[in-house]
Structures are given as C-alpha cells and as structure tokens.
Amino acid sequence: EAGVAQSPRYKIIEKRQSVAFWCNPISGHATLYWYQQILGQGPKLLIQFQNNGVVDDSQLPKDRFSAERLKGVDSTLKIQPAKLEDSAVYLCASSAQGNTEAFFGQGTRLTVV
Amino acid sequence: GEDVEQSLFLSVREGDSSVINCTYTDSSSTYLYWYKQEPGAGLQLLTYIFSNMDMKQDQRLTVLLNKKDKHLSLRIADTQTGDSAIYFCAEGRDDKIIFGKGTRLHILP
C-alpha cells in the first residue's frame, strides 16, 4: 500500500514570496490533515478535511495560508506571502476515519530567508 | 500542543527499559497515541490505545493508561540504539489528533 506522498521535500524561499505544497493521501482515506511542525515542537494542526469539506481550520492563519482539497483526494497548502516564522516542516496525514490511525507523509521542510 | 504535556528528554542505557510519560487534559479523548519521529523523517504511529482500556502490549512496547489521572506512559523493553528518536504522545478527540512537544530518547552505550 502506497503511503502519503508529499512534494517537494525541501523548499527555500525569500520572505514575502509564495509557496505551495502538495499532498496525495492514501487511496480511499476520507480525512486529510495538514500540520505545521516548528523545530523543537510537536506538530500543530493547521487544517483538517473530511472528503473535500473543511472540518477544522481554526489554527490556520487565514490572512496568508490557504488550503484546498479538490475532488476529495489531493490537497495543496499555500502560503502567500511567507514570513520568517513560517519556517517549519509541513506534514500531511490521512486516515480512513477521523480520530483513528493517521498515516503521515515525510513532510516538506520550508526555510524562509 | 499545550494540552498534552511530556518531558523533553530521556536518557537510557542500552538494554534497559525506557519509560516515557505523558499527561493530557481532555477526559473526552477517545484514543491516545504514541508516535515516533526519527531525524528527517515523518511521524510513525507506534501504537494507540482506546480510552476504555488500561493497558496494551505489543512486543517490546507496553502502553499504560490511567484515565482518572489523565496519564499515559510508553514502556520500551530492552531499549536498542534504533529506538533513539523523538516520541510524541497525542490525544484524539472530536476527530482531531493533538500532539505534545515530544520526548527525545537518547540511548547511552
């Protein structure tokens, strides 16, 4: 069974630039999560989708972050414009049902300079 | 992650048992999880326990849950160098998974 795929693995951008991350969840998984993991901290939930609908985006900085999950499969997370404090690893995860076993991708490490 | 608390570091001698502790705050949590993260890698689910269970054992791993005290622990028997990683405690509630800050396990020779 293929795991959660994310790309790119690494990205370096200058502040005020835009960046987009892509996630392909495990086939058939209805729930998709985006987490932000700042160095030395645990993952923080940014947004959760159930199929193509948003379940929770209370922690998403909506002035600069946006996410979509068209057709309830792949998802993209965008930051526009980026700030230095956005430097982190962005993790995507999926699960067959919310609140049970979630599988994580390897993450995208973003460095904003 | 403020609702899930863990100590940040633990050092254990190779061959000894490691015990990583965690406290959480929401008694309505349905599942409690332990994830492992090795350097540069994503999160790997090690084990999880339903909130109506007290204990779960899986090979070298033993999870203990004290729901009254909202305390979760992970015991790794016969700790090996390959167990060196960051271990995250997480609680599942309202279809969300909330993580602690992680405990870095260091193995001493």
pLDDT value for B2: 52
Q: What is the pLDDT of residue A1?
A: 59
Does the CB of A65 have a partner CB in chain B at under 8 Å? no
| Cβ burial B68-91 (10 Å sphere, 16+ → b, else e) | eebebbbbbeebeeebebbbbbbb
Segment holding A54, helix H or strand E = strand A53-56
Number of A/B CB contacts below 8 angstroms equals 62
CA distance A21 to chain B (A): 15
Where does the pLDDT of residue B39 fall: very low under 50, low under 70, confident under 90, or very high at 90 and above? confident
Q: How close, in Å, is residue B46 to chain A by CA atoms?
A: 10
Which of chain A's residues have a Cβ under 8 Å away from the Cβ of B31?
99-100
pLDDT confidence of residue B92: 85
Instruction: Report the residue of chain B nearest A37, measured CA to CA.
Output: B101
Mean pLDDT in chain B? 91
CB contact under 8 A, B98 and A45: yes
Q: What is the pLDDT of residue B1?
A: 43
Q: What is the pLDDT of residue B40?
A: 79
pLDDT at A101: 80
pLDDT of B25 > 90? The answer is no
Q: B54 or B29: which carries more pLDDT confidence?
A: B54
Q: What dihedral do alpha carbons B79, A4, A79, A62 form, nearest 10°?
A: -90
Minimum distance, in Å, between the CA of residue B83 and any CA atom of chain A? 19
Q: Give A66 to chain B, closest Cα distance, Å.
A: 19
Residue B86 has pLDDT above 90, yes or no: yes
Q: How confident is the model at residue B78 (pLDDT cuts 50, 70, 90)?
A: very high
Residue B22's pLDDT band, with cuts at 50, 70 and 90, is very high
For A56-112, the pLDDT digits (tens) are 999 999 999 999 998 889 999 999 999 999 999 999 999 886 557 889 999 999 999
What are A20-44's pLDDT values in tens digits?
999 999 999 999 999 999 998 899 9
Question: Which residues in chain A touch residue B56, judged by CB atoms under 8 angstroms apart?
Answer: none
Report yes or no: A54 at the B interface, CB cutoff 8 Å. Answer: no
Q: Is A93 on the interface with B (CB under 8 A)?
A: yes
